Structure 1
Amino acid sequence: MTETPADPIFSELRPHLVRLAYRMLGSVADAEDIVQEAWLRWLASDHASVRAPMAFLRTIVTRLCLNELKSARRQRETYVGPWLPEPIFDPQDDDAADDVTLPLMMALERLSPLERAAFLLHDVFGMDFEEVASAIGREAAACRKLASRARAHIVDARPRFAIGKEQGLKFAAAFFTASRTGDMAALRAMLSEEVVAYADGGGKVPASRQPLIGLDAVMRRHEQMARLFLVQPSQLIRYALIDGLPGFLTIEGGDVVQTTALQIEQEKVVAIYCTRNPDKLRHIASATAH
Structure 2
Amino acid sequence: MTGPTTGQQVFEQHRGLLFSVAYRVLGTAADAEDAVQDAWLRWTAADRSAVADPKAYLARTTANLALEKLRSAHVRRESYVGPWLPEPVLTREEAPDADTVSVALLVVLETLSPLERAVFVLREVFAFEYAEIAEAVARSEAAVRQAAHRAREHVRARRPRFTADRAVQRDVTERFLAAAGGGDINALMDLLSPDVALWTDGGGKVRQALKPVLGAERVAAWFAGVARRPYEGVAPEEMSVGVVTLNGAPALVFRAPDRVLATVSLDVGPDGRITALHNLANPDKLTAVASGVLHDLDPA
Q: Could you say if the C-alpha distance between residues 170 and 237 of structure 1 is closer, same or farther in structure 2, counting changes exceeding 3 Å? A: same
The 1-side partners of 2:215 and 2:89 are apart by: 27
- SS where residue 192 of structure 1 aligns? strand
- Matched residue SS, 2:229: helix
Answer whether contact 2:181 2:224 (CA < 8 A) is retained. Answer: no
Tell me the distance in 1 between the aligned counterparts of 2:44 and 2:82. 41
Which one of 266, 274, 278 corresponds to residue 273 of structure 1? 278
Q: Give 1:254 deviation, angstroms.
A: 7.5
SS in 2 for 1:99: helix
Q: Does 1:53 align with 2:44?
A: no
Instruction: Tell me which amino acid in the other structure corresponds to 1:243.
Output: N
Structure 2: 5+ residue stretches without partners:
294-300
* 1:70 equivalenced with 2:71 (yes/no): yes
Number of residue pairs the alignment of both structures matches: 286
* Paired letter, 1:235: M
Paired with 2:260 and 2:5, the residues of 1 have a C-alpha distance of 43
- Cα distance in 2 for residues equivalent to 1:89 and 1:121: 22
Mean alpha-carbon deviation: is it higher for 253-262 or for 126-135? 253-262
Instruction: Give the corresponding residue for 2:297.
Output: none
Q: Which residue number in structure 2 is paired with residue 259 of structure 1?
A: 263
The structural deviation recorded for 1:198 is: 0.9
| Equivalent residue letter for 1:238 | G
CA separation in 1, counterparts of 2:98 and 2:168? 19
Residue 52 of structure 1, CA deviation: 0.9
The CA RMSD measured in Å over matched residues stands at 2.1
Q: 1:242 aligns with which of 236, 241, 246?
A: 246
Residue 3 of structure 1 deviates from its aligned partner by: 5.4
- CA distance in 1 between counterparts of 2:115 and 2:250 reads 30
Please say which of residues 109-118 and 33-42 is displaced more in the overlay. 109-118
Spell out the pairing of 1:163-178 with structure 2 (5 A cutoff): 163-178=164-179
Give 3-state SS (helix, strand or coil) of 1:110's partner: coil
Kindly indicate whether the alpha-carbon contact (under 8 Å) linking 1:258 and 1:275 is maintained by their aligned counterparts in 2: yes
> Counterpart in 2 of 1:96?
96
Within a 5 Å distance, the mapping from 1:34-183 to structure 2 comes to 34-90=35-91, 92-97=92-97, 99-100=99-100, 101-183=102-184
Alignment partner, residue 187 of structure 1: 188
**TM-score if structure 2 supplies the norm length?**
0.89
Cα 1:184/1:237, change in 2 over 3 Å: closer
For residues 84 and 96 of structure 2, the distance between their equivalents in structure 1, rounded to whole angstroms, comes to 24
How much has 1:164 moved relative to structure 2?
A: 1.9
Checking the alignment, whether the CA contact within 8 Å between 1:178 and 1:186 is kept in structure 2 is yes
What secondary structure, in the 3-state scheme, does the structure 1 residue paired with 2:279 have? strand
Say whether residues 1:283 and 2:288 are aligned partners: yes
Q: Structure 1 counterpart of 2:206, which letter? A: V
Structure 1 pair 49–6 and aligned structure 2 pair: CA distance change class (3 A)? same
Whether contact under 8 Å (1:202, 1:277) holds in the other structure is yes
Query: Are 1:214 and 2:215 an aligned pair?
Result: yes
In the aligned structure 1, how far is the partner of 2:196 from the partner of 2:257?
25
SS of match in other structure, 1:160:
coil
Identity %: 38
Secondary structure of 2:237's match?
coil
Residues 238 and 248, structure 1, Cα contact 8 Å, conserved in 2: yes
Tell me the residue number matched to 2:298: none
Within 1, Cα distance between the matches of 2:4 and 2:280? 40
Could you say if the C-alpha distance between residues 254 and 7 of structure 1 is closer, same or farther in structure 2, counting changes exceeding 3 Å?
closer
The aligned residue for residue 197 of structure 1 is 198
1:156, CA displacement in angstroms?
3.5
1:10 counterpart SS class:
helix
Q: Whole-Å Cα distance in 2 between the matches of residues 98 and 52 of structure 1?
A: 27
Residues 226, 254 of structure 1: alpha-carbon distance in 2 compared, 3 angstrom cutoff: farther
* 8 Å contact kept, 2:195–2:214: yes
For residues 178 and 239 of structure 1, do their structure 2 counterparts lie closer, same or farther at Cα, with a shift above 3 Å needed? same
Normalising by structure 1, report the TM-score: 0.92
Unaligned runs of 5+ in 1: none
Contact 2:82 2:202 in 1 (8 A): yes
